[in-house]
Structure 1
Amino acid sequence: MLPQLLNRTVTYLRPQLRFLSPLPPSTSLSSSSEQPPPAPAPVTPPPPPLKLPLDCSPARLRKLIATQSDPLLAKEIFSLAASLRPDDFSPSSPRSYSSLHVLILKLARARHFSLADSLLRRLPSPSPGLFSALIKVYADAGLPDRAASAFRYMLRHTRCRPSARHLNRLLSALAARPDHLPSALHILRSADAMAVPSDVRSHNVLIGAFCRIGKLSIAYDLFNRMFKRGLTPDVESYRLLMQGLCRKSQVTSAVDLLEDMLNKGYVPDALSYSTLLNSLCRKKRLREAYKLLCRMKVKGCNPDVVHYNTVILGFCREGRPWDACKLLDDMSDNGCFPSLLTYTTLVNGLCSRGLTEEGSHYLQDMISKGLVPHFSVFHALVKGFCAVGKYGEACDVLAEMLNLGVAPHVETWAVLLPGVCDDDGETSMAAAKRLVMEDGWRRATRIVQAGPELEEYMARRSPGRGVLSGTMHLVGNRNSQSVRPPFT
């Protein structure tokens, strides 16, 4: 009776216990309190083997590698392709050469040099273009030793022969480091023994490098070596030697080299003339510099603003601004327009000789052409006018300066204020000086903070009264606009 009663109870309670798992048929009531055995874990089928698409051509793989920003990920892609389709993408397969070239350069540019070298040694036939690009990457990274190793590997372990382009890139990499110049010179002299051609560019690289460190004798030997080998030096060869001579203050030899260049039918470039003009002006040989400037157009090189500025600066340094003014007139006749530096140099030169009226004329000419003068131009004019007691003109210059949004230097105020204040205004003068000399003078500072009595006093005492008063009001009104803090 008991088993039948239990079965009827379970049948009655089954709808209410739907959420419970049914007891297995063999389970008795006595074992219902025990935990059922855990269900076996489902068996996950193994993933299908990786396959490359049949249409994955070498060109498609190369494009995929080239578009990867991470070089290590690009290497993993290539390794996966080589493991799945070794006949097409192994390093020994000719079809993978283009992808390997891209990968090697990508690794080298990311400074993974060891990985790049290991892939390079697995490549049976590297192309000359790969070595040329690789040497340039090492040169740009400042690693001349690695560039030399790549060049030697190309000579000894590949069937491609270095060209003059490979040699020139290697020499450029070595010449960038003065301590590697002996190695570079040895490689150039051994180029014939290595069956590597050299050209004018090869010699120019080392001529410029030895001139920069002052070893002119070696530079001249390389220059003469070109003639012995049947090579013709170009304009750059002469210019590099002239620059080396000018660095050593051998200006006369540089001029002789220019004459030899002209006699042989060469047309010097603009940089050659700039080098000579600058050296002649520094040696105070202004007459020769002016003659050379006049000869430039006749010899096929039109002078530009840099050449004129060089000679104008030379005249102004020697206290001859009137000659510099003549050059400014010649510029317009030759179709060359003065620059901001031209006017700045000229006005400063005129003011240094007390020719402030002429300097003021060139200031107005400068402004009429849309050029905003440097604050030093205004300072030179203010200082020059104040030196001869023309404080009204000095205030006009200061007003023009503020109208253009140029902040006066504290020295400009220090030069102008003593001229418009006398002994009766010591208190106002001290307040003004204290204000303009403050380190914290910024856009929000108003000059009229010195006090209304300072403005009235300066307007009353200044020969240019009214002008200075307007200037003071102008400074106060522009405090929240474009007035920049003064240079300290």
Structure 2
Amino acid sequence: MLRRPIYDCSAAARYLIPPLLTFSRFLLSSSSEQEAREPMVSNRNPKSLIGSPTRVQKLIASQSDPLLAKEIFDYASQQPNFRHSQSSHLILILKLGRCRYFSLIDDVLAKHRSSGYPVTGELLTYLIKVYAEAKLPEKVLSTFYKMLEFNFTPQPRHLNRILEVLVSHKGYLGKAFELFKSARLHGVMPNTRSYNILMHAFCLNDDLSIAYQLFGKMLERDVVPDVESYKILIQGFSRKGQVNGAMELLEDMLNKGFVPDRLSYTTLLNSLCRKTQLREAYKLLCRMKLKGCNPDIVHYNTMILGFCREGRAMDSRKVLDDMSGNGCSANLISYRTLIGGLCDQGMYDEGKKYLIEMMSKGFSPHFSISNSLVKGFCSFGKVEEACDVVGFVIKNGETLHSDTWEMIIPLICKEDESEKIKHFLEDATKEETGGDTRIVDAGVGLGSYLSSKLQMKRKNVRERKRHTFF
């Protein structure tokens, strides 16, 4: 009678008979097929009674329950002269790992080793994958030392994957660093990727000094840094507000023939602008194209925002004008930032010009933009200009804030017209409660009414001037 291994899982006992029956049917069908195809011979090889390793492998792979797969694996292992394929071991390890039967994995590994198969990098990669998916950093770390026990020297790719898993878990950065430092003693030479993983982790952990020391070690050990190495440190220095250090790294990077990526430039521009080093930021923007990286909309918008924050909206306007010359089109953020900066400096005529330009290109202004322009014009008594903004916005089907209406209406209408205005505003409120907060339909009626009132007021002003002249 076949003796079955006892597992610490009740599922194995529940499915005791079915797997053997399934396996038996599979073997019998295999044997029948072979007998039909082959003539009768004496002294048949015992392997043919249970099928080939390839057929057993397919049966193991077809099982959805890993315990059933393990029973089939064990049953076949006990047959005379049978030797599982390496793929059977790999498939079973994955099945057991994904269902968290980790205690059974060691048994499969022991049988793999006793079968005379060498421990391969593929097998250990599978093992790391299983433990990583299960979020077991200790098991991942132990896999490195298991490789050494099996007289297998891990490759840098194994080291890097283990480091990635360790640094992704809180509290394991120290263990990752210890493994990194001891790897050379075991014949594993960390490569550029190894250093980048740890530098990035230390930067995120606010240990910039250690990350920078690792960068120095790379150069000492003739490990060539790449664009990613520089980007990691540039971002780290920028987060700490150490712009000069970040700029030195950029210069070193350029001198060595590397082309910085767009994110590195974005990080530096942001950092320079926040440090109000706008001259240096603009020079960097101009140098980008010369160094093989064309500025994109993010870089230009970063500069526009930087100038506007410092009350230099006219310089922002120059940046906007430069964009088209460099093959980059301004977007909604570009215009909104610039118009907001112009309004903050009281340059409402310029702001109005860019409002018209942006809307002519199909961009929708936030109601705060039109409100700022109307408020600014009204504060200077420029009612016609304020009404032009209102009329243009409404004509293009855009929303006006209620504060904008409250500012403009008293400047145009007489007190005895309050009921008619109230009617328009009530309709506008009804439209606004529709969910998209647009006052287009009612606003058009109100806008037309106000426009006619404004035209009448202008006509009266011209008439008075004509009579005064005569």
TM-score by length of 2: 0.73
What residue number does 1:101 align with?
90
Q: Which moved more, 1:439-448 or 1:246-255?
A: 439-448
Q: Does 1:395 align with 2:395?
A: no
- Asked if structure 2 preserves the Cα contact closer than 8 Å seen for 1:392 and 1:465, the reply is no
What residue number does 1:173 align with?
165
What residue number does 2:275 align with?
283
What residue number does 1:132 align with?
125
What residue number does 2:41 align with?
none
2:286 to 294, 297, 300: 294
- Measured in 2, the distance between the counterparts of 1:177 and 1:202 equals 17
- Asked if structure 2 preserves the Cα contact closer than 8 Å seen for 1:147 and 1:170, the reply is yes
* Aligned pairs (5 A) from 1:13-412: 50-52=25-27, 53-54=29-30, 58-59=53-54, 62=57, 70=64, 73-77=65-69, 79-80=71-72, 82-83=74-75, 86-87=78-79, 93-95=83-85, 97-109=86-98, 113-114=102-103, 116=105, 119-120=108-109, 122-124=111-113, 125-139=118-132, 142-156=135-149, 158-388=150-380, 389=383, 390-400=385-395, 403=397, 408-409=400-401
- Measured in 1, the distance between the counterparts of 2:410 and 2:102 equals 68
Return the letter of the residue paired with 2:152. C
TM-score by length of 1: 0.70
Change (3 A) 1:59 1:437: farther
Q: What number of residue pairs does the alignment pair up? A: 409
Return the letter of the residue paired with 1:285. Q
- Asked if structure 1 preserves the Cα contact closer than 8 Å seen for 2:432 and 2:439, the reply is no
Q: Which structure has the larger Rg over C-alpha atoms?
A: 1
Structure with the largest fraction of helix: 2
Q: Which runs of 5+ in 2 are unaligned?
A: 1-20, 34-50, 458-470
2:434 to 423, 427, 442: 442
- Measured in 2, the distance between the counterparts of 1:446 and 1:305 equals 29
Return the letter of the residue paired with 2:209. S
- Measured in 2, the distance between the counterparts of 1:374 and 1:358 equals 17
- Asked if structure 2 preserves the Cα contact closer than 8 Å seen for 1:383 and 1:415, the reply is yes
- Asked if structure 2 preserves the Cα contact closer than 8 Å seen for 1:135 and 1:150, the reply is yes
Change (3 A) 1:260 1:385: same
What residue number does 1:21 align with?
none
- Asked if structure 1 preserves the Cα contact closer than 8 Å seen for 2:339 and 2:355, the reply is yes
- Asked if structure 2 preserves the Cα contact closer than 8 Å seen for 1:305 and 1:338, the reply is yes
- Measured in 1, the distance between the counterparts of 2:194 and 2:57 equals 34
What residue number does 1:459 align with?
450
- Measured in 1, the distance between the counterparts of 2:53 and 2:402 equals 70
- Measured in 1, the distance between the counterparts of 2:391 and 2:53 equals 76
- Measured in 2, the distance between the counterparts of 1:244 and 1:172 equals 19
- Asked if structure 2 preserves the Cα contact closer than 8 Å seen for 1:459 and 1:465, the reply is no
- Measured in 1, the distance between the counterparts of 2:403 and 2:104 equals 61
- Measured in 2, the distance between the counterparts of 1:377 and 1:445 equals 16
